Amino acid sequence: MSAEVSNPNPEASGPVRVLSIAGTDPTGGAGIQADLKSIAANGGFGMAVVTALVAQNTRGVRSVHVPPVAFLREQLDAVSDDVVIDAVKIGMLGDAEVIDTVTRWLDEVRPPLVVLDPVMIATSGDRLLAAEAETALRGLLSRAHLITPNIPELAILAEEPAATTWPGVLEQALRVSERYAVRVLAKGGHLEGAHAPDALVDASGTLPERARVVEFSGVRIHTENTHGTGCSLSAALATRIAADGDWLAAIAEVKRWLTESITHADSLHVGEGHGPISHFAGLWSRGGLATERAAGEYLEDWWQAIAPIRHRANTLPFVEQLGAGTLDRDAFTWYLAQDALYLRDYSRVLAEASKLAPTPEEQAFWAAGANGAIAAELQLHQGWLPEDEVFSTPPAPTTIAYVDHLLAAAARGEYAVIIAAVLPCYWLYQDIGTRLVAQSHPEHPYASWLETYADEVFARSTRSAIGYVGEAVRRADPETRARMFEAFERASAHEVAFFAAPLEARAVPGHAE
């Protein structure tokens, strides 16, 4: 019996790399074309080496061209010299020279899993393997971990008449398994009746619970469109067994996929003979064809959506006068006091984001933000503003409104919404600051304040915050996305109102100064 297949590539994550060595079908239903679709539909990365070019369609085979075997060898080496191969599926080989070439290559490369579909005669009755090559093919069987003959092919390998009953197929498959020391997937596709069973047959009894036959039941679908089912089945098996390592689970999964793909064959309308199966029908119906938007795209939309708010920020008298250096000193000091008051609660909201973060990386990021807000920034403010002035300044309505919005988000405890709410204090602040710092010069009365906007660490934090919020939007369901945007938009409006307040709200009677 051929070597056991454990997981061939346990270190590698990502799709298994599966090579199909087979002939072509320009109508896309059988051969290499079917194999690549089947590998992809079952989660693998498909590669293909062509043994023979076949001029065929759904009605039958017109002619076969077998390129020189030296070129076949070059194709095989081109793949194995470069790519780690997790599994090989072998289909149509054409003639004895091709079989010898593939056999030698297999002996050198020893792929961890080889599934051989001993293609001899197409559904249409045309020969796909020269009669004199059958002996050479027998030599290849023991190199395979699994062979998938249909009933007529099984009979040729057994050198017996074709079985006409399912128990007869299983007995013949056992004899073939014993004779060639190989696992056989016996297929019931060519029988009549309501069922289309398959079975994994292993004469050496190495299947779970020392079984020699494990059956996989299946309903027969009434359709003429089964061109390429054998090709598709073997390529899918190579993929799933390589990926899973659990033979029985992999076969059961492939059988379900194949039945589903045959069920949808009639909807394809490819050709007038025996049409192909619909390899991606299940994926299309379950996953659809929509591409997934990148995280950054969502936030680009958000940024566009708050364009009016951003425009207001850039034309505020406070921002213009701060940049020009003409800002009234009292207004500036009042702004700093409000900022200090704001930062105390902002820090608490960032701490809440840290508490709820789904990854240690995000947890650390928001915790650092909370620390930065309360420690570093307050320290900076103290250089401009005595601590008692902060305490003696009552919070303005704009400050209260902004802080309440953030604290409410924190109280509701939804991580995605909290980080959307705190984002404008990074993003808009950074955006306004970038314009302000450009106006700084050594004689500027607010030069040392404006320079704080040039802080590269804050710029990096802003990019990270945008990244985390973007990822959270991408992961979120539509309702959560809507709540996130609402929290972001409202916080953006509060952020701008906060910049407007020193010149607009400070002097309004009734507002504390």
Ligand X SMILES: Nc1ncnc2c1ncn2[C@@H]1O[C@H](COP(=O)(O)OP(=O)(O)O)[C@@H](O)[C@H]1O
The pair of structure tokens assigned to 425 is 């204090």
Which residues touch 328 (CB under 8 Å, ≥6 apart)? 321, 503
Which one of ligand MP5, ligand X, none interacts with residue 502, CB within 5 to 8 A by kind?
A: none
Angle between helices 397-412 and 415-437 (to 10 degrees): 140
Which one of ligand X, ligand MP5, none interacts with residue 262, CB within 5 to 8 A by kind?
A: ligand X
The one catalytic residue among 148, 226, 398, 462: 226
Alpha-carbon span 354 to 368, nearest angstrom: 9
Decide if residue 218 touches ligand X (CB under 6 A).
yes
Alpha-carbon span 316 to 283, nearest angstrom: 53
Which one of ligand MP5, ligand X, none interacts with residue 258, CB within 5 to 8 A by kind?
A: ligand X
Which one of ligand X, ligand MP5, none interacts with residue 91, CB within 5 to 8 A by kind?
A: ligand MP5
Site string for ligand MP5, 113-152 (x = CB under 6 A): ------x--xx----x------------------------
| Binding-residue total with ligand X (CB under 6 A) | 18
What is the DSSP code (8-state) at residue 121? B
Identify the three-state secondary structure at position 123. coil
Decide if residue 23 touches ligand MP5 (CB under 6 A).
yes
Decide if residue 220 touches ligand X (CB under 6 A).
yes
Number of Cα atoms under 13 Å in the Cβ half of residue 116: 27
| Binding-residue total with ligand MP5 (CB under 6 A) | 19
- Asked if 305 and 488 touch (Cβ cutoff 8 Å), the reply is no
Identify the three-state secondary structure at position 384. helix
Which one of ligand X, ligand MP5, none interacts with residue 220, CB within 5 to 8 A by kind?
A: ligand X
Distance linking the first and last C-alpha atoms of the chain: 90
What kind and span of H or E run contains 49? strand 45-50
Decide if residue 258 touches ligand MP5 (CB under 6 A).
no
What is the DSSP code (8-state) at residue 195? B
Alpha-carbon span 106 to 104, nearest angstrom: 5
Q: Is 425 an annotated catalytic residue?
A: no
Residue from 73, 138, 175, 190 touching ligand X (CB under 6 A): that is 190
Interface segment toward ligand MP5; rule CB under 6 A; list 178-186, 223-231, 402-410, 441-449:
223-231
Q: Is 480 an annotated catalytic residue?
A: no
The pair of structure tokens assigned to 87 is 């599994």
Buried b (16+ CB within 10 A) or exposed e, 216-252: bebebbeeebbbbbbbbbbbbbbbbbbbbbebeebbb
Long-range CB contacts (< 8 A, 24+ apart) of 219-223? Answer: 219/194, 219/195, 219/259, 220/193, 220/194, 220/195, 220/196, 221/196, 221/259, 221/262, 221/263, 221/265, 223/262, 223/265, 223/266
Tokens 């070597």 found at: 3
Under rule CB under 6 A, which residues in 25-44 are in contact with ligand MP5?
Answer: 25, 30-31
Shortest CB 179 distance to ligand MP5, Å: 23
Which residue is nearest to ligand MP5, using beta carbons?
31
Interface segment toward ligand X; rule CB under 6 A; list 124-132, 156-164, 186-194, 488-496:
186-194
Decide if residue 229 touches ligand MP5 (CB under 6 A).
yes
Under rule CB under 6 A, which residues in 260-289 are in contact with ligand X?
Answer: 262
Q: Which among 336, 332, 338, 345 is positioned nearest to 396, based on CA atoms? A: 338
Q: Is 228 an annotated catalytic residue?
A: yes
Site string for ligand MP5, 173-212 (x = CB under 6 A): ----------------------------------------
Decide if residue 196 touches ligand X (CB under 6 A).
yes
Q: Is 230 an annotated catalytic residue?
A: yes
Binding site for ligand X (CB under 6 A): 150, 187-190, 196, 198, 218, 220-221, 223, 226, 229-230, 233, 258-259, 262
Catalytic residue numbers read 187, 226, 228-231
Binding site for ligand MP5 (CB under 6 A): 22-25, 30-31, 54, 56, 91-92, 119, 122-123, 128, 227-231
